[in-house]
Amino acid sequence: MEEQDLAFKTNQGCFTYRVAAIIIKDNKLLMAKHEDYPCYYTVGGKVRINETSEEAVIREAYEETGIEFQIDRLSFIQERFFEMAGKHYHEIVFYFLMKENPKIDLSNRSFTDQGPKESLNWLPIEGLDETYIIPEFFKTKLLDNIVGIEHIVSKE
């Protein structure tokens, strides 16, 4: 039986429950980029039915990088409202800071599980304000020490 993602569509729009991994090494943030889209975005994806957000972020990070990361802590919860191609989207996203691991080596893996159209990129945290990234709040929030859990509501 196929695993069911926690996402649904209605006449009013689409809802998705997602997780994302904040992976930092040497003051650089690991982000994905699809050649058909202009922005960089987090490693992560949809939570499945009967899966915890922690299980989902570990699974998604592994699927996209081939590395089994460990969670440091939950850092941000975002309620994100946006429109794309005329459709309204509502996402709840749990962002987990992953534990730093000096053994992280993605030099031999530049593509995600989506194939050669989606690549992994290390972006300098200091230069994020000049880069088109989603979520936008990373541009300022990652420059500070991430402490506690911050709730962010964004209407884009």
pTM above 0.85, yes or no: yes
pLDDT at 77: 98
Domain encompassing residue 141: 7-155
> pLDDT confidence of 3, banded at 50, 70, 90?
confident
Whether 151 is covered by a domain: the verdict is: yes
Whether 2 is covered by a domain: the verdict is: no
Whether 142 is covered by a domain: the verdict is: yes
pLDDT at 116: 73
pLDDT at 88: 96
Provide the 10 A C-beta neighbour count for residue 76: 22
CATH number of the domain that residue 60 is part of: 3.90.79.10
The tokens of 65 are what?
């990088």
Q: For the chain, how many structural domains are there in total?
A: 1
- Closest alpha carbon to 17 in 43, 51, 41: 51
**Average model confidence (pLDDT) across the chain:** 90
Buried b (16+ CB within 10 A) or exposed e, 11-50: eeeeebbbbbbbbbeeebbbbbbeeeeeebbbbbbbbbee
Whether 70 is covered by a domain: the verdict is: yes
Whether 1 is covered by a domain: the verdict is: no
Q: 111-156: per-residue pLDDT in tens?
A: 565 667 888 999 999 999 999 999 999 999 998 778 889 999 999 8
Whether 79 is covered by a domain: the verdict is: yes
